Amino acid sequence: MLAAILALAALAAFFGVLLGYSAIRFRVEGDPIADQIDSLLPQTQCGQCGHPGCRPYAEALAKGEDEINKCLPGGEALVLTLADLLGREPVAMDIKEKVPSVAFIDPELCIGCTRCIQACPVDAIIGAAKQLHAVLNSECTGCELCIEPCPVACIELRPIREDIQRWRWPYPVRQPVERDIAAPLRDAA
Amino acid sequence: MAIALKPKSTSQRRLWRFHGGIHIPDQKALSNERAIERAPLAERLWVPLQQHIGAPGRPLVAVGDTVLKGQMIAEPTGFISAPVHAPTSGRVVAIEPHPVPHPSGLSAPCALIEPDGLETWAELPPPLADYPQLDPALIRERIRWAGVVGMGGASFPTSVKLTPGTDREIQTLIINGAECEPYITCDDRLMRERAAHILEGVRIMHHLLRVRTVLIGIEDNKPEAIAAMQLALAATDMGGYTEIVPIPTLYPSGGEKQLIRILTGKEVPTSGIPAQIGIVCQNVGTAAAVADAVLEGKPLIARVVTVTGRAIAEPRNLEVPVGTPIEHLIAQCGGYRETPRKLVCGGPMMGFELREPATPITKATNCVLALAPEEAPDPGPALACIRCGRCAEVCPAKLLPQQLYWNARAKDLDRVQDYNLFDCIECGCCAQVCPSHIPLVQYYRYAKTEIWAREQEKRKSEQARARHAAKQARLERQEQEKQARLRKQKEALATPKPAADGEDPKKALIEAARQRAAARKTSETVQD
């Protein structure tokens, strides 16, 4: 009886020390799950999820404090990926996806107030006080954060023009007429 | 003593087989009987400013400029890039977007040249007839200047392909004269009529790559081309290392990887290039363009195009300047016999439909195909896959087309890559034999471009993340600097004045001035 108690106590003490040591020795800096989520987010830094940027939303998701359907630029595809990663149920999104766009500053109207420059999360607007501002198309994420602060409403979002480099083959329209009963078995091979 | 003067018998050479492939009616008799003709100049030439794979060129001319034939109108902007030259002399009327030969039918920047009809040549660089004595870098520079790109369809800059890396040695140069797609005969005619010129180009490439063997693969449905090339080879001193190899006719034996397999038995690794296994592959048209560039100093401004199909009144091969609208070529071939169902750029298997007949031909356009309704019957609605497996039997890349199809259809872009989607050469064999008429290649093309777009988005979001982090860091640093400044000011205010010893210098000055003024006043009163 005593031997059993002693043995269990010794084991408990041993594992306690082991776990305690491991917790210090193999401590992981930061939150790997949050990093993983952050790498999936579109990084528009638009704040439409209610968090100030993509990283805070990723951290909130990692802690399980927020829903996975808050990212509007990511759209439905992102909800599905996040559901897959976090093992949660996919939640429907209520807003349809936008066409990819970039901000455009009307050079006739811009007064050079620099407010949009301060609002831009990715420094995609260049200019100086009382100088014409311009958007770097290659850097703009289309987050719309610059539209609100503009006092003369000279910023608008313009869809990115389709060119040969960006063109994609369309999904074939000629779909098989019958339902494929074999389709669910596709991974059997 | 037997003197070995007998040429090496070509039938002795061992040939390999690639997996799959199909026999299809070649339809080459439509256009291969007539000699190459030089088409009269079109009234307007739309010259695309990018006609190669790689970095786009930078335009060198402005609207209103007069250009001479062979004058460079766009210069290369990177290592993998190529210049564009004016195909004739005339005036640049506009530089604006115009439909170019591309499956999307979209527009790209083109220079609209109105020919003056004089064909005045610009000053050309001197011919390098003594190239064996010259520095190979000089010859490569000439080929790059001439804007030579792969003329089999890929339009990859040739000078890059002829620059072997220092880490690997190229042993074999393969010249692709297979021309396996039905209908197309431009390489066939070129080999029949200009075999010696092609061999000159081959000799230059042999000199640049320092290869041991040169193999010229030609499908055996072109006996005249094989005979002409063999005759031309016998007249040169290249017989020691060059061999004309007739290969069995089987689509797609002209695919780069397939031709390498047939001639050498070697396999190009997945997502690798032939140079990794010591092989460089060039088209016969490219060889002729290299000869033009080095031996005559002429840039690549014209090419041979097959205009064919049963909807064309007189199908034939035309030598046309780059930038000629396709409708002009069709008019030169007697126009349409009947309304075509489809106008295709390239062959019937791998070509794409043209929506705009004003589209110009480029350096890579080998064929314009106007298909009559009986040649391109409507396949009707696609039926369900019955898992017959014929697509896998004919796939020359040894892929599993069915699995690719399921996953591409389900938009499962990760799993479709597990089945090596990017090894697919889009030859169309699977779709050709599919009894359910499923447009299989369309699914693969869709999946490929979606994956590229996804990767691009990923790169863009990485960039945005980095920029956002940089902005956050900058704001934080500025805030800290501000705090530090404020703290310093506060400290300066808080420290007590060093007024303890001696008078304040300012006060002393004021006092001194006051005393001076008082002294002056008293002296003035004394004088009065």
Tokens of A10: 């010794």
Residue of A nearest to B405 (CA): A186
Q: What's the confidence (pLDDT) of residue B2?
A: 42
Asked whether residue A178 is assigned to any structural domain, the reply reads no
Cβ atoms of residues B176 and B259 within 8 Å: yes
Domain shared by A74 and A87, yes or no = yes
Length of chain A, in residues: 189
Per-residue confidence (pLDDT) for residue B195, from 0 to 100: 94
- Of A53, A54, A169, nearest to B446 by CB-CB distance is A169
Whether the Cβ atoms of residue A49 and residue A70 lie closer than 8 Å to each other: yes
Q: Examine residue B367 and state whether it is found in any structural domain, yes or no.
A: no
pLDDT of residue B255: 93
Question: How many CB atoms are closer than 10 A to CB B232?
Answer: 19
Tokens for B387? 């898992």
- Rg (chain B; Cα; Å): 34
- pLDDT for the residue numbered A184: 47
CA A49 to chain centre: 10
Question: Would the CB atoms of B446 and A179 count as touching at under 8 Å?
Answer: no
Identify which of A45, A168, A180 has the shortest CB distance to residue B450.
A168
Whether residues A27 and A89 fall in one domain: yes
Out of A121, A177, A189, the one facing B383 most closely (by C-beta) is A177
Query: Touching check for A84 and chain B: CB below 8 Å?
Result: no
Within 8 A of B453 by CB-CB distance, chain A residues are: 166, 168
CB under 8 Å to B27, separation ≥6 — which residues?
B182, B183, B308
State what percent of residues in chain B have pLDDT above 90. Answer: 73
| Tokens matching residue A70 | 């808050």
- Number of other residues whose CB lies within 10 A of the CB of residue B477: 10
Position A43 scores a pLDDT of: 85
Which chain A residues are Cβ-neighbours of B110 within 8 angstroms? Answer: none
Q: With respect to residue B284, please indicate whether it lies within any of the assigned structural domains.
A: yes
- All residues of chain B having their beta carbon less than 8 Å from the beta carbon of residue A143 are none
> Is residue B9 predicted with pLDDT exceeding 50?
no
Q: Which residue has the higher pLDDT, B2 or B92?
A: B92
Q: Total domain count for chain B?
A: 1
Last residue of a domain, one of A96, A129, A144: A96
pLDDT value for B113: 94
| Least Cα separation, residue B503 to chain A (angstroms) | 47
DSSP A51-112: SSSHHHHHHHHHTT-S-TT--TTTHHHHHHHHHHHHT------SSPPPPPEEEEE-TTT---
Give the Cα separation of B23 and B17 in Å (integer): 14
Of A44, A171, A174, the CB nearest to B382: A174
Q: Could you report the predicted ipTM of this complex, rounded to two decimals?
A: 0.79
Distance from CA of A187 to the nearest CA of B (A): 8
Q: By the CB < 8 Å criterion, does A123 face chain B?
A: yes
The nearest CA of chain B is from the CA of A81 a distance in Å of 12
CATH classification at residue B242: 3.40.50.11540
- The verdict on A63 and A105 lying in the same domain is no
Residues of B in contact with A170 (CB under 8 A): 446
Assess if residue B163 is contained within a domain: yes
**Mean pLDDT to the nearest integer, B164-186:** 89
pLDDT band at B371 (very low <50, low <70, confident <90, very high): very high
For A185, nearest residue in chain B (alpha carbons): B406
| pLDDT score, position B7 | 46
For chain B, how many residues are written?
528
Q: What is the DSSP letter of B341?
A: S
Residue B173, C-beta contacts closer than 8 angstroms, at least 6 positions apart: B202, B205, B206, B209, B211, B213, B214, B215, B279, B280, B281, B282
Has residue A1 been placed in a domain? Answer: no
Residue-wise pLDDT for B399-442, tens only, equals: 999 999 999 999 989 999 999 999 999 999 999 999 999 999 99
Specify the pLDDT at position A188.
47
Are both A103 and A74 inside the same structural domain? no
Residues of B in contact with A42 (CB under 8 A): 457, 461, 464
Distance to chain B for A5, nearest Cα, Å = 54
Average pLDDT over residues B294-320: 94
Yes or no, beta carbons of A44 and B464 under 8 Å apart:
yes
Q: Is the peptide bond before A52 cis (omega within 30 degrees of 0)?
A: no
Q: How many contacts does A have with B, using Cβ atoms within 8 A?
A: 95
Tell me: pLDDT of B1 over 50. no
Q: How many domains is chain A partitioned into structurally?
A: 2
> What is the C-alpha to C-alpha distance for residues A99 and B483, in angstroms, rounded to an integer?
43
Residue A174 lies in a domain: no
One domain, residues A82 and A124: no
What is the DSSP code string of A118-133?
Answer: HH-TT--EE--TTS--
What pLDDT score was predicted for residue B55? 85
Last residue of a domain, one of A45, A79, A96: A96
Cβ contact A112:A128 at 8 Å = yes
Q: Is pLDDT above 70 for B110?
A: yes
Shared domain check, A92 and A51 = yes
Same domain, yes or no: A67 and A121: no
Residue B467 and residue B499: Cα distance in Å, rounded? Answer: 52
Residues of A in contact with B108 (CB under 8 A): 163-164
**DSSP tag of B296:** I
Q: Which chain B residue lies closest to A53 (C-alpha atoms)?
A: B468
The answer on A114 and A91 residing in a single domain is no
A88 Cβ contact partners less than 8 Å away, ≥ 6 residues apart: A68, A82
> Measured in whole angstroms, how far is the alpha carbon of residue A135 from the centre of its chain?
22
Taking 80 as the threshold, does the pLDDT of residue B21 lie above it? yes
**How far apart, in whole angstroms, are the C-alpha atoms of residue B110 and residue B154?**
20
Q: A47-68 burial by CB neighbour count: b if 16+ within 10 A, else e? A: bebebebbbbbbbbbbeeebeb
Please give the residue that has the higher pLDDT: either B325 or A81.
Answer: B325
Q: B407 lies in a domain?
A: no
What does the radius of gyration of chain A's CA atoms come to, in whole angstroms? 26
Q: Mark yes or no for CB contact B406/A186 under 8 Å.
A: yes
Nearest neighbour of B439 by CB, restricted to A168, A172, A180: A172
CA A161 distance to own-chain centroid: 24
For residue B328, is it within any domain?
no
- CB atoms A163 and B384 under 8 Å: no
Say yes or no: A85 and A126 in one domain: no
Closest residue in A to B100 (Cα) is: A164
CA distance A43 to chain B (A): 5
A76 shares its domain with A25: yes
- Joined together, the tokens standing for residue B7 give 């040429």
Chain mean pLDDT for chain B: 90
Quick one: DSSP state of residue B225?
H
Rounded Cα distance, B428 and B104, in Å:
18
Give the residue among B36, B55, B126, B39 at the shortest CA–CA distance from B87: B39
Residues A30 and A76 reside in one and the same domain:
yes
User: In angstroms, what separates the C-alpha of A14 from chain B's closest C-alpha?
Assistant: 44
Q: Establish if A112 belongs to a structural domain.
A: yes
Taking the model in full, what pTM does it have? Answer: 0.82
d(CA A66, CA B171): 61
pLDDT in tens, B486-527: 999 999 988 866 555 556 778 888 888 889 888 888 876 666
Collect all residues of chain B within an 8 Å Cβ-Cβ radius of residue A121: 468, 471
Q: Which of B385, B438, B449 sits opposite A169 (nearest CB)?
A: B449
Higher local confidence (pLDDT), A144 or B204: B204
Question: Per residue in B240-270, pLDDT tens?
Answer: 999 999 999 999 999 999 999 999 999 999 8
Q: Identify whether B253 is part of a domain.
A: yes
- In-domain check, residue B290: yes
Q: What's the pLDDT at A173?
A: 81
**B48-72 pLDDT tens trace:** 999 998 888 889 999 999 999 999 9
Task: Using alpha carbons, select from B292, B327, B349 the residue that is nearest to residue B125.
Answer: B292
Residue B482 lies in a domain: no
Which residue range(s) make up the domain with B298?
13-321
Verify that A89 and A19 share a domain, yes or no. yes
Single residue among A79, A96, A113 that ends a domain in this structure:
A96
CB interface of A with B, residues 50-79, below 8 Å: 53-54
The CATH number for A135's domain is: 3.30.70.20
Q: Which residues of B touch A171 (CB under 8 A)?
A: 411, 446
Those residues of chain A that have pLDDT short of 50 are 179-189
Which residue reads 């209610």 in tokens? A50
| Alpha carbon distance A17, B266 (integer Å) | 60
Decide if A8 is inside a domain: no
Can you tell me whether residue B464 is helix, strand or coil?
helix
User: Is the predicted pLDDT of residue B142 greater than 50, yes or no?
Assistant: yes
Q: Which domain holds residue A142?
A: 99-159
The helix/strand/coil state of B509 is: helix
Q: Is residue A169 assigned to a domain?
A: no
Is residue A46 domain-resident? yes
Please say whether the beta carbons of B177 and B23 come within 8 A. no
Does residue A149 contact residue A116 with C-beta atoms inside 8 Å?
Answer: yes
> Contact B135/B182 with Cβ under 8 angstroms?
no
With cut-offs at 50, 70 and 90, classify the pLDDT of residue B227.
very high
Give A 148-167 residues with CB within 8 A of chain B: 162-164, 166-167
CA-based nearest residue in chain B for residue A73: B461
